[in-house]
Amino acid sequence: MSQADQENVHPVTPVYLGRYLLSHLREYGLLFALIAIMLFFQVMTDGTLLKSVNITNLFLQNSYIIIMALGMLIVIVAGHIDLSVGSVMGFIGAFSAVLIVQWELPVALAIPLCLALGALIGAAQGYWVAYWQIPSFIVTLAGMLIFRGASLWLLEGQSVGPFPKEFQALSTGFIPDFMSPGFRDGLLALFEVRRINAGALVVGVASALVVVWLNLRKRQQNVRYGIEEEPTGFFVARNMIVAGALLFVVFKLATFRGLPNVLVTMAVLTVIYAFITERTTIGRRIYAVGGNEKAAKLSGIKTERLTFLAFTNMGMLAALAGLIFAARLNTATPKAGFAVELDVIAAVFIGGASMAGGVGQIIGAVVGAFIMGVMNNGMSIMGIGIDYQQIIKGLVLLAAVVFDVYNKRKRG
C-alpha cells in the first residue's frame, strides 16, 4: 500500500493546502467565525466594539456564560444535558443575597456556602440521572422549574441588594497593578497612552508566550508521532493570529482598568478544565462514557459515578456564575438567569460538541461562548431589538451544527 509515502511527505501544493483546509474547516472555522464576527461588529458599531471599555464590558457581561459552558461541555460530552443551570444560577444568586444582605453573614463564609449548595443541587439532579437512569432532559427540566420557583419564593418576588463592596469585587473588581511605577512610566512613554496597568500587560505577554509554546510543543509531539498534518505556514499564521489577538485584547484592557477579576477566574478555570478533560484519566473516562457507555462500563469505568460528578460539578459552576452575576448587578432579582441555559448550551454546540456525547472540547466551548457574547454585545450596541437578536442567535446555532454534520458526512 502507498500508505507510508502518504504519511510522511506532504507536498506543499495549493491542492494539498486547500484539501487540508477543507478537512479541518471546523477547527479553523470556529476561529475565523469569531474573528469575522468581531470585525463585522467592529465596523457596524463604528469601532465601539473593540474600545477598551467595551472589551472590559464584554468579559464582565459574558464571564458567567463562559464559566457555565465549561461545566456544560463536560455534561454534554458525558452524553447528557442540563437545562436547570439558568434557574440554579438565579437561585444561588438569591440565596447569596439572603445570606449576605439579609442575614449579614461574612462574604468569605457565604461564598463557600453558596458553592456547596450549588454542588449539592447538581448532585441531587445527577443522582437521578446517574443511578436511576432517568433522562437528564427530564430531571433537569424539573430542576429548571423547581429552582425558578425557589428563587421567587426565596426573594418573595422582590429584588434584594445592594451587596457589600468586597462581594461586588468578585465581578467588578480589577487586579491591581503589581509592577513598579518606574516600569509603568516607561510603558506609558513607550505606547504614548494616558494610563496603563503594567502588571496586566506583563501577564498578557506571558500568557501569549505560554500559548504559543504549548502549541509548539504539541506540534513537536505530533511530528514525532508522524501525525502532524498542518502545514508550517498555517501553524505560524494560526499562532500569530491567536497570540496577536491575545496581546491586542490585553493591551486594550491594560490601558483601561487592567484585568478584571472575573477574567482571571475564568481564564484559570478554563485552563484547569482543559487540563482535566485532555490530560487526566477522569477526563478520558468521561469521553469514553459519552462515546459508548456500555463499552466504557465493560472496561471497568464507573459510569454512574462519573455522570454524578459531571452534574455535581455543573451545579457548583452554576453557583459560581450565580454569585458573579449577582455581584455584577449588585442585586439579586427573581429574573436572574432566565433562559441563560439556552445561551450556555448553544455556546457548547457552536463550539463543536456533539449531542450524542463523546465529542467536544473545552476551548471550543469557550470560543463558542465568546461568539455568542460578541453577538449579544454587538447587536445591543447597534440597537438591534431583542426580537431580532434571538432570531439571529438561533440561526447562528443552526448554521454551526449543520456545518458540523455536513463536515462529518463529507469525511465519512
Q: Which residues bind another protein (CB under 8 A)?
A: 1-3, 6-7, 23, 221, 225-227, 279-282, 284-285, 287-288, 291-292, 294-302, 358-359, 411
155 CB-near residues (< 8 Å, 6+ apart) = 94, 97, 98, 332, 333, 334
**90 or 358: whose CB is closer to another protein?**
358
Rounded to a whole number of angstroms, the minimum distance from the CB of residue 19 to another protein is 9
Rounded to a whole number of angstroms, the minimum distance from the CB of residue 308 to another protein is 15
Rounded to a whole number of angstroms, the minimum distance from the CB of residue 270 to another protein is 18
**56 or 354: whose CB is closer to another protein?**
354
**192 or 281: whose CB is closer to another protein?**
281
**165 or 408: whose CB is closer to another protein?**
408
Rounded to a whole number of angstroms, the minimum distance from the CB of residue 283 to another protein is 8
- Going by C-alpha positions, the residue among 238, 216, 204, 230 that lies closest to residue 34 is 238
**341 or 404: whose CB is closer to another protein?**
404
DSSP-H helix ranges across 45-84:
52-77
User: How many Cβ atoms are within 10 Å of 207's Cβ, its own excluded?
Assistant: 16
**6 or 112: whose CB is closer to another protein?**
6
**What is the C-alpha separation between 19 and 42, in angstroms, rounded?**
31
Rounded to a whole number of angstroms, the minimum distance from the CB of residue 294 to another protein is 5
157 CB-near residues (< 8 Å, 6+ apart) = 334
Contact 304, 77 (CB under 8 A): no
3-state SS, residue 215: helix
User: How many Cβ atoms are within 10 Å of 69's Cβ, its own excluded?
Assistant: 35
Q: How many CA atoms lie within 13 A of 259 on its CB side?
A: 24
Rounded to a whole number of angstroms, the minimum distance from the CB of residue 118 to another protein is 24
Rounded to a whole number of angstroms, the minimum distance from the CB of residue 229 to another protein is 8
- Per-residue b/e over 121-146, b at no fewer than 16 CB within 10 Å? bbbebbbbbbeeeeebeebbeebbeb
**96 or 303: whose CB is closer to another protein?**
303
